[in-house]
Structure 1
């Protein structure tokens, strides 16, 4: 046994059925040069027990699909995950979820695999995507022993890239909703926030085309260039 093996988390016990389904997940490709409209996008939001990316846990997942240039309401995903380690008094709510809802949630391994099947080989959009990507990757590794490899693009960066006149680069989702005058009737649960992010993304795709950004690959490249410039200017 390695001297440091005790530092590594134990691999999860994954049932044969889940292993077979994991094996059938599609191979992931890089972003393509198809049009932004042709690309199927999955817009994701997570609610977690907190913002500590090393210790906090995923509580709920909401996702919607953008396809053919519109939100496809026939393709939606929503799950609350069981979190037995979370100790809450009956009066405590986290993101509108009480102890009963959390206790009655889906088995995390099953729910996370269903999410991976829902995403397929599509790229993922999220607001503050690095956080969601890290938290989801941790959960997938912990419960399925699987490495999350999807491409994530951050709507929180795409917005100021395409709308510099807003001058609200560090803004949250609420500020961009207000700036674009979007009518959002519900917020601060995973499904509602995923839907709000998807509505924002559709506006941004229109802005992208007006700025001669026509494909997911071009958007990713322009975003990378913009982030490098921002980092240079910050020094």
Structure 2
């Protein structure tokens, strides 16, 4: 007799094709000592129904690949997820995702598997990465029963670490875009935000190389040191 079956996590039911595609995904690689230019990166941006990691959901996904030190032509991913039950609120409207767009979106399971295939074994860059990592991780678990394993690096940390003389209080993506004079065609759309984040990342990688940080592993190790030093004045 099974006690309290309602306490067991629900396992999503997937068709055979999606199960096979999930099983064939490459294992995410650890950060290595290849050069930043040699490493393939995926820059990710999510538009969500709000900022609550436990309650809100992913509405659209934008991703851009960086290969050979440049944004890959044709290496872009964009999906709006089908969320017909999503109520319209300020967070939804700012992304331009009305009821008709959400009702006509892609099947969430299909779109998430396609995203994982696009990412492959590459590390992921995002601005405020912990949020995107948390939201994507829950979406994958709830929709596919899949555990997110990719390495994430936060561009919002890379920028101040590599530019210690630039003082921007609680700087957001728009602040760093303005700091480097990047042109932005649109904002608050997942694909456009991923594109501009990728452009910012390339500038930061160039700065990192000038600071003798020329591998993903070196960059991640320096980030850990920078994070620890940032916490020290607060007595943590």
Q: Which TM-score bucket, shorter chain as reference?
A: over 0.9
Tell me the equivalent position of 1:6.
Answer: 6
Query: Structure 2 CA distance, aligned partners of 1:215 and 1:165?
Result: 23
Partners of 1:94 and 1:162 in 2: CA distance: 31
Deviation at 1:234, TM superposition (A): 2.0
The structural deviation recorded for 1:233 is 1.9
Any stretches of 5+ residues in structure 1 without a counterpart? none
* 4+ aligned runs moved over 4 Å, structure 1: none
Alignment gaps of 5+ in structure 2: none
> Could you tell which deviates more after superposition, 208-217 or 179-188?
179-188
Q: Name the residue aligned to 2:182.
A: 182
2: CA distance, partners of 1:189 / 1:171: 19
- Relative to structure 2, which stretch is displaced further, 223-232 or 151-160? 223-232
Coordinate RMSD, CA, aligned: 1.4
> Residues 165 and 2 of structure 1: is their aligned pair in 2 closer, same or farther, counting only changes over 3 Å?
farther
Q: Residues 215 and 2 from structure 1, CA distance in 2 versus in 1: closer, same or farther, beyond 3 angstroms?
A: farther
- Is the contact made by 1:81 and 1:105 (CA closer than 8 Å) also made in structure 2? yes
Q: 1:182 to 1:94 in 2, by over 3 A?
A: closer
TM-score, scaled to structure 2 = 0.95
Measured against aligned partners, the alpha-carbon deviations of 1:181-213 in whole angstroms (never above 9, x if no partner) come to 111121111000000100000000000001000
Task: Give me the TM-score of the superposition, normalised by structure 1.
Answer: 0.95
Give the equivalent residue in structure 2 for 1:207: 207
The answer for the alignment partner of 2:53 in structure 1 is 53
| Matched pairs, number | 232
Q: Which whole-Å CA distance do the structure 1 matches of 2:169 and 2:21 have between them?
A: 40
Shift in Å at residue 169 of structure 1? 5.7
